[in-house]
Amino acid sequence: MPESGHTPCVAGEGFTQDATFSYAPSAGFYTDPKIHDAEIRQIFQKEWLYFCHQSQLPKPGDYMVGEVAGHSFYAIRGKDQEIRAFYNACRHRGHQLLTGQGNVRMVVRCPYHSWAYGLDGQLKAAPKCDAVTGFDVSGIKLNQIRSETIGGFVFINLDPAAKPLREVAPTFEPKLLSMVAEAADLKYVKHKEYDIEANWKIVTENFLEAYHVAYSGKAHRALGNIIDIDTYRFSIDGRTIEYTARGGEADVLPYDVNEEDAFTNSRGMPFHQVFLWPNMTFSVFPRTNMLFVFNMMPAGIGQTAERIIYFTLDGKMSDPTETAEDYVSSQLNPEDVELVEAVQRGMESGGYTPGRLMVDPERQESWGEHFIHHFNSLNVAALTAPGSE
């Protein structure tokens, strides 16, 4: 947040720097097209975003196509085992090079005019290029996108001037590895997708606060049984928010339990979540032997494309783990979707006046909404940074 003592009104006049006295952001923060467009420019085209796990690209030539803020790109493993990302556009006439996921062996070939690129993006050949005066194959390379692999997870950034993820979020990697020391060895199992009729910030806020857990439905009350509240701890550190607790007893968990834990957890805290701004949460529930990622991408002013991605050490789910995945995908998340879509409808109704954020004076209570305040403070800072429009 700016240090002038006054919060820009992009989030509403009631949203103040001091979380203990702040009101929630105004409805326009979630419904104004200008704010949405600014978020695409200032956040999703400039910040580090989750893309995949390295296990999804195991061999040279393995690739995955993705899209961020309207920009198509792909990540590919090179002959040197490095994973790189490139804009998915041929340097000749812009035709998209790849679709979906697969393996191209050693060459990425454009379907339009058969320009062929190496796994490192370097143009290798173009039909008839010998007949074109001054055509220099060596001087043509696909436009590369910044990528960084941390704990086996691949992140991308469209901004060529962005600082490294390890620099802007220095505590993320150690927190991730304290959650699952074997993160780099994880294997992709599956994912579930949800098209949510709510702004991406509303969806993300719902994951950041526990104030609603005891009151908002059967699946959320079961979530309360997953967490031993007496050992619940959290830390807010820049772009990273961490939550830890011991798990509930096996007889109260809303799923079957594995007899042995697959992951090393040096702190003995089997409920563990790490949020990385702007839009992703890495989670481990007790005795599930899986790590899952919640990834929330804006698909419009009031639409979010949410993906939940599941990983285990062997790429398979035991029978107990399947019941835990079913609880998350078929019970907890649908209940969350209903909640956030109802919030969005309220924001759009024209009758919403922001209410006080529920924050205790010491900002120590797990139910507090200071996590929401911190999250939106980062969003406001990005939207009002020098050079932003």
Q: What is the DSSP string of 2-32?
A: -TTS---GGG-TT--S-GGGPBPPPTHHHH-
Among 5-14, 85-94, 199-208, 242-251, the minimum mean pLDDT is found in 5-14
Higher pLDDT, 289 or 216: 289
pLDDT of residue 5: 43
> Before 286, cis peptide (omega within 30)?
no
Give the helix ranges, DSSP H, for 209-296: 218-226
80 phi, psi to nearest 5 deg? -85, 10
Determine contact, residues 282/263, Cβ cutoff 8 Å. no
- Between CA 49 and CA 307 the distance in angstroms is 13
Categorize the per-residue pLDDT at 230 as very low, low, confident or very high, splitting at 50, 70 and 90: confident
Instruction: Provide the whole-model pTM.
Output: 0.93
* Radius of gyration (C-alpha) of the chain in whole angstroms: 22
Assess whether pLDDT exceeds 80 at residue 381.
Answer: yes
pLDDT of residue 4: 38
pLDDT of residue 2: 38
User: Which residues does 132 contact at the CB level (< 8 Å), separation at least 6?
Assistant: none
> Which residue in this structure is represented by tokens 């606060």?
209
pLDDT of residue 211: 81
pLDDT of residue 265: 76
User: Which residues does 360 contact at the CB level (< 8 Å), separation at least 6?
Assistant: 20, 368
Q: For residues 216-234, give the mean pLDDT.
A: 88
- pLDDT tens for each residue of 57-87: 999 999 999 999 899 999 999 999 999 999 9
- For the stretch 339-376, what's the b/e string if a residue is b when 16 or more beta carbons lie within 10 angstroms of its beta carbon? bbbebbeebbeeebebeebebeeebebbebbbbbbbbb
- pLDDT tens for each residue of 81-130: 999 999 999 999 999 999 999 999 899 999 999 999 999 999 999 999 99
pLDDT of residue 240: 97
Determine contact, residues 222/327, Cβ cutoff 8 Å. yes
- Between CA 199 and CA 30 the distance in angstroms is 6
Categorize the per-residue pLDDT at 266 as very low, low, confident or very high, splitting at 50, 70 and 90: low
